[in-house]
Amino acid sequence: MKISMVSEHANPLAALGEVDAGGQNVHVAELSAALCRQGHEVTVYTRRDDAGQPESVRTEAGYEVVHVPAGSARYLPKDELLPHMTEFGRFLAARWGADQPDVVHAHFWMSGLASILATRETGIPVIQTFHALGAVKRRHQGAADTSPPDRVRLERLIGKNAAQVAATCSDEVFELARMGLPRAKMSVVPCGVNLDRFGAEGPAAERGAKHRIVSVGRLVPRKGFATAISALAGVPDTELVIAGGPDHGKLADDAEARRLRELAQRCGVADRVHLLGKVSRTEMPALLRSADLVVCTPWYEPFGIVPLEAMACGRPVVAAAVGGLTDTVVDGVTGELVPAKRPDLLAATLRRLLDNPAQREAYGVAGMDRAHSRYSWDRIAVDILRVYEKALPERVAPSSRAAVGRA
């Protein structure tokens, strides 16, 4: 099968940890690689954000990355990319007119917009994975939401015009139904974990305090690192290591890093909170293995790759009971779920588990089993191929896509 992946802002070749580089980049890269291993031809289209990028790159995993000229070749925050999606779509239409794929898989809502604009005269089926929904973001961030005002309306149109929607978790299915999408059009296809890279065997990073908690993610407020820092005040003899953001030498210039350090000072735990900055994918397994607990406390989370990576490394997870984390972490089996934004309850859970190594060990073993049985990327690729096959027999008529073109 010839598959076109569209990921307008999340380049699978990008370094992780910066503001707009995270789980979606990993998802697109690993899914593309897994599909190539199964004999499919995969091309990823992403926006050129650096004048030095080549037009295309053939990766060692077998998929091709095409850098699409849409707007100036420089970094732009993803919330500023909407005006360039028409140009992005025109490029895709020209490329696919000469070399038509069997299916298009769009990642994030703006990729969906460009993909549907590009395929409206062809009937090529578009599979949509939103990764995050504007309505959920607006609900949690309120006035701090920087998304374009039309995002929610356009997401609804994209969902209705896509042949199938691959939701990353069961909570997203509920949200999509509230948007008016029919349940028959939705399938849950979660993110996966690279089991060759993340495993219990291997070196662990050096550590200092009696206990270590590790938290990983982009340095943005919604990731909830402030909750973990506030909780640390009630967890003695424990260090909190936070990985993510810019290089360590640039953390002083990062507004969120400064905010978190100031919070740690106010909470009296500055000496036990360590911001590492960006940690490479090759170094991440050793960091996770060094943890007694891996903590994920976002305000909301469409899926969350870090708990899977921790589980694959045999580490127990304490996570906020939000979004995809409620699918991944089986409460009382592979870890524990706590209410979001409740540092008091988080602290109590951390103290109890740090005092109970047998329970942590049991969670770690169960988590590793779950990661291997359900979340390998090869298993996820089989799941997404079933979704593609649902779309292939009933190609959407070009006329039904016209509404998005007039949006």
pLDDT in tens, 162-201: 999 999 999 999 999 999 999 999 999 999 999 999 999 9
Residue 16 has pLDDT above 80, yes or no: no
Higher per-residue pLDDT: 397 or 40: 40
Report the pLDDT value the prediction gives residue 401, as an integer from 0 to 100.
Answer: 46
Are residues 346 and 387 located together in one domain of the fold?
Answer: no
Residue 114 has pLDDT above 90, yes or no: yes
Mean local confidence (pLDDT), 330-358:
98
Residue 399 has pLDDT above 70, yes or no: no
**What tens digit of pLDDT does each residue of 261-311 get?**
999 999 999 999 999 999 988 999 999 999 999 999 999 888 889 999 999
Do 131 and 31 form a contact (C-beta atoms < 8 A)? no
Kindly state the percentage of the chain with pLDDT values over 90.
84
Indicate whether 313 belongs to any domain: yes
Indicate whether 242 belongs to any domain: yes
Task: Write down the mean pLDDT value for the chain.
Answer: 92
HSE value, Cβ hemisphere, 13 Å, CA-based, for 210: 8
Are residues 367 and 386 located together in one domain of the fold?
Answer: no
Are residues 366 and 383 located together in one domain of the fold?
Answer: no
Report the pLDDT value the prediction gives residue 270, as an integer from 0 to 100.
Answer: 97
Indicate whether 346 belongs to any domain: yes
Do 386 and 164 form a contact (C-beta atoms < 8 A)? no
Report the pLDDT value the prediction gives residue 395, as an integer from 0 to 100.
Answer: 47
Residue 400 has pLDDT above 70, yes or no: no
Phi-psi domain of 93 (left: phi exceeds 0; alpha: psi -120 through 50; beta: other): alpha
Angle between helices 225-232 and 343-354 (to 10 degrees): 60
Higher per-residue pLDDT: 203 or 407: 203
Report the pLDDT value the prediction gives residue 14, as an integer from 0 to 100.
Answer: 79
Are residues 294 and 333 located together in one domain of the fold?
Answer: yes
Report the pLDDT value the prediction gives residue 394, as an integer from 0 to 100.
Answer: 52
The identity of residue 203, as a single letter, is P
- Residue 396's pLDDT band, with cuts at 50, 70 and 90, is very low
Domain that holds residue 282: 211-374
Report the pLDDT value the prediction gives residue 303, as an integer from 0 to 100.
Answer: 84
Indicate whether 89 belongs to any domain: yes
Range name among 36-50, 341-355, 386-400 with the lowest pLDDT average:
386-400
Indicate whether 204 belongs to any domain: no
Q: List Cα–Cα distances, 47 to 31, 38, 63, 95, in angstroms.
A: 19, 26, 16, 14
Residue 321 has pLDDT above 70, yes or no: yes
Report the pLDDT value the prediction gives residue 47, as an integer from 0 to 100.
Answer: 97
Do 359 and 13 form a contact (C-beta atoms < 8 A)? no
Residue 403 has pLDDT above 60, yes or no: no
Report the pLDDT value the prediction gives residue 407, as an integer from 0 to 100.
Answer: 46
Are residues 130 and 220 located together in one domain of the fold?
Answer: no
Are residues 284 and 382 located together in one domain of the fold?
Answer: no
The identity of residue 192, as a single letter, is G
Are residues 361 and 391 located together in one domain of the fold?
Answer: no
Are residues 234 and 329 located together in one domain of the fold?
Answer: yes
Indicate whether 261 belongs to any domain: yes
Residue 66 has pLDDT above 70, yes or no: yes
Are residues 342 and 397 located together in one domain of the fold?
Answer: no
Are residues 105 and 239 located together in one domain of the fold?
Answer: no
Mean local confidence (pLDDT), 314-329:
96
Mean local confidence (pLDDT), 221-239:
97
Indicate whether 200 belongs to any domain: no
Which residues on adjacent β-strands are paired with residue 371? none
Specify the CATH number for the domain of residue 188.
Answer: 3.40.50.2000
Neighbours of 23 (CB within 10 A): 22
Mean local confidence (pLDDT), 12-29:
73
Measured in degrees and rounded to the nearest 5, phi and psi for residue 107 equal: -115, 120
- Residue 21's pLDDT band, with cuts at 50, 70 and 90, is low
Mean local confidence (pLDDT), 140-145:
82
Are residues 329 and 184 located together in one domain of the fold?
Answer: no
Are residues 272 and 329 located together in one domain of the fold?
Answer: yes
Indicate whether 197 belongs to any domain: no
Report the pLDDT value the prediction gives residue 41, as an integer from 0 to 100.
Answer: 98
Mean local confidence (pLDDT), 364-391:
97
The total domain count for the chain is 2
